[in-house]
Amino acid sequence: MNRKRFVDSYLKKVFRVIKNYRLVEKKDKIFVAVSGGKDSTAALFSLKKFIEETTIDCELKVFHINFDLPVWKDVEKVIKKQAELAKVETVVIHLKDFGISLEEIAKKVRRPICSCCGVIKRYLMNKIPREMGATKIATGHNMDDFIVFFFKNLLSQKFEWIAKFKPLLPSTHPKMLCKIRPLFEVSRDENEKFCKILKIPFVREDVCPYSYIKYGLDKNREKWYQTIDGIEKWNRNFKISMIRAIEKMSNYFRQPPEEIKTCLKCGEPSSQEVCGFCKILMESKEKI
């Protein structure tokens, strides 16, 4: 497929999801959570193209969390370049401004650093954009991510998580933003190809020194991706049929059963009395 045809067909797939699930609506103020990697970069540029082509009255912003590790200076540069190319305003927050140091957390908190990082990211990705008037937060989760999560949750019988495998997750708490996943029907390889053809700079996924692979939290994740890519090779429509089946199936499950509470310490949505973010902050400040 030539380059132009690839980009047209890629955008057709992304736009179809945006339209079918009403991911972008009039007067929306969408913050795109950008890590600098190929997926969230592709999400930013395809949302931007959708807004330009449809001329819908919607505001887009780039939102990035800087982890204040040495390598992040370069990541931030790439993100600023992307935002400049997309002509979108950038909001960058630094973990140190919230009194958080990943190094302290790695030393003191009694759980894997990648899982702490996930809690921190999800918390700030909801709180900061919401406080700045966002109506939705967009992420770069792609079709391969959801297919792999699906198999893993199925095998561990965490059926209720399947309820979340949708292009749009509505808010379930007054302080919880609606989440959108415009790349629900495109793969990670397609996202990379899209960025490369359009010559958009992006960062490698494993820049973080605490990355999953090194710390073995999810060593087999890559094997899972290779397995579904392998099936796709002899069954051309495997991934798209699978993701559509997963989306339909998600309607048969209820979201995780815990009622969404309000954290006693910070007032943010939480599944427990005190949210994961506040717990990590407390643990990382405890004296050893």
Q: Which residue has the tokens 């007032």?
A: 267
Q: Does 39 bind ligand AMP (CB under 6 A)?
A: yes
Q: Is 280 one of the binding residues for Zn ion (CB under 5 A)? A: no
181 binds, among Zn ion, ligand AMP, none (CB under 5 to 8 A by kind): none
Rounded Cα–Cα distance for residues 288 and 277 (Å): 20
Q: Which does 278 bind (CB under 5 to 8 A by kind): Zn ion, ligand AMP, none?
A: Zn ion
Residue of the chain from 13, 130, 136, 141 that contacts ligand AMP (CB under 6 A): 141
Site string for ligand AMP, 115-134 (x = CB under 6 A): ---x--x---x---------
Of 256, 253, 274, give the one whose Cα is nearest residue 265: 274
Tell me if 278 contacts Zn ion by CB under 5 A.
Answer: yes
Residue 135 interacts with ligand AMP (CB under 6 A)? no
Q: Tell whether residue 113 is a contact of ligand AMP (CB under 6 A).
A: no
Residue among 140, 167, 182, 269 that touches ligand AMP (CB under 6 A): 140
Which x/- pattern, by CB under 6 A, does the window 219-258 give for ligand AMP? ----------------------------------------
- Minimum CB separation of residue 89 from Zn ion in Å reads 28
Q: How far is CA 237 from the centre of its chain?
A: 24
* Min CB(109)–ligand AMP separation in Å: 18
Residue 270 has φ and ψ, to the nearest 5°, of -155, 150
29 bridge partner residues: 59
Nearest alpha-carbon partner for 212 in 203, 221, 223? 221
Whole-angstrom Cα distance, residue 202 to residue 130? 26
Query: Scanning residues 151 to 190, which ones bind ligand AMP (CB under 6 A)?
Result: none
In the β-sheet with 178-180, what is the strand arrangement from edge to edge? 89-94, 59-66, 29-33, 136-138, 178-180, 168-169
Q: What is the DSSP string of 70-113?
A: TTHHHHHHHHHHHHHHHT-EEEEEEGGGGT--HHHHHHH-SS-H
265 binds Zn ion (CB under 5 A): yes
Rounded-to-integer distance, Cα 90 and Cα 31, Å: 9
Closer to Zn ion by Cβ: residue 31 or 123: 123
Total number of residues that touch Zn ion (CB under 5 A): 5
Which one among 23, 30, 33, 280 touches ligand AMP, defined by CB under 6 A? 33
What residues make contact with ligand AMP under the rule CB under 6 A? 33-35, 39-40, 63-65, 118, 121, 125, 139-141
